[in-house]
Amino acid sequence: MSDAADDIIRRALAEDAPWGDITSEVFVPEGARATATLSPREPGVLSGIRVFARVFDLVDPSIAVSLQAADGDRFEPGAVLATVDGPARSVLRAERIALNLAQRMSGIATLTARFVAAIEGTDARITDTRKTTPGLRILERQAVRDGGGHNHRFSLSDAVLAKDNHLAVLAAQGVSLGDAIRAARAQLGHTTRLEVEVDRLDQVEEVVSAGVDIIMLDNFSTDELVAGVALVAGRAVVEASGGVNLDTIAAIAATGVDVISVGALTHSARAIDLGLDVEIRG
């Protein structure tokens, strides 16, 4: 588990029990033990099982977690994904955070898998966006990968992506798009990727000719996407964005675009219903 993931878990535990679990302390005997079984109540794709185990480990290293499934596995209701055994107070303190994170991540992985399945047989790939839950991006991005998707740039520091607001600034200053792209390219290191978003077909040639690595066709109709791919003619990676859902994804992929970015993977995924049935013994 990375330091960044551990930091997320520690902050979540501190938020949930800043001064301990007073309910367990007054109701559960100090020497009581607990066993628990993690099982899904609906079908899905698993993500966050190692995060689930790490929560218990950070609460109490004496808790034993046995994993019966791996991230990326598909599951059906009633399957045993993991078992937990340890001091009852510790198990009860960890259970909610462990479940919350695994349910959230599995929901993202499950939704991603549906998008990936919808474009099977095409050359397009599904990617996420920066529309992630603040503070949880590293976990949500893992969940996308567990569902068979790919990751876009991780942060604003990783690549250049000039979008509509950036282009509006250029227009207000009277700077041509092509000149701005060439000037940006001159400032960048040779390993930095440069992507530009366009929302009209008549912008495509100027952007591609200026030397971008990726062109994003934003909110284009499927007919416009076909035309855009033809205009680019392999000179840049073509990304489609906007208006993407499970009803439209197959038609978008069929236009020949290389990448389809889907904000819904992280901003609209529903948590999967996972249950942790706990049995306490004295």
Those residues whose C-beta lies under 8 Å from the C-beta of residue 152, and which sit 6 or more positions away, are: 127, 128, 129, 130, 261
Question: At 2, phi and psi to the nearest 5?
Answer: -75, 160
Give the DSSP H or E segment for 259.
strand 259-261
Task: Return the number of other C-beta atoms located less than 10 Å from residue 256's C-beta.
Answer: 17
Question: Angle at Cα 132 formed by Cα 20 and Cα 72, nearest 5°?
Answer: 85
Cα–Cα distance measured from residue 150 to residue 26, given in angstroms and rounded to the nearest whole number: 47
DSSP letter string, 109-157: HHHHHHHHHHTTTSS-EEE--S---TT-HHHHHHHHHHTT-B---SSTT
The conformation of residue 271, written as its DSSP 8-state character, comes to: P
Question: At 256, phi and psi to the nearest 5?
Answer: 100, 5
Cα–Cα distance measured from residue 115 to residue 250, given in angstroms and rounded to the nearest whole number: 9
Cα–Cα distance measured from residue 260 to residue 110, given in angstroms and rounded to the nearest whole number: 17
The closest of 1, 12, 3 to 94, measured between CA atoms, is 12
CA atoms within 13 A on the CB side of 175: 14
Residues that are catalytic:
96, 131, 163, 197, 218
Task: Return the number of other C-beta atoms located less than 10 Å from residue 174's C-beta.
Answer: 6
Question: Angle at Cα 213 formed by Cα 209 and Cα 216, nearest 5°?
Answer: 90
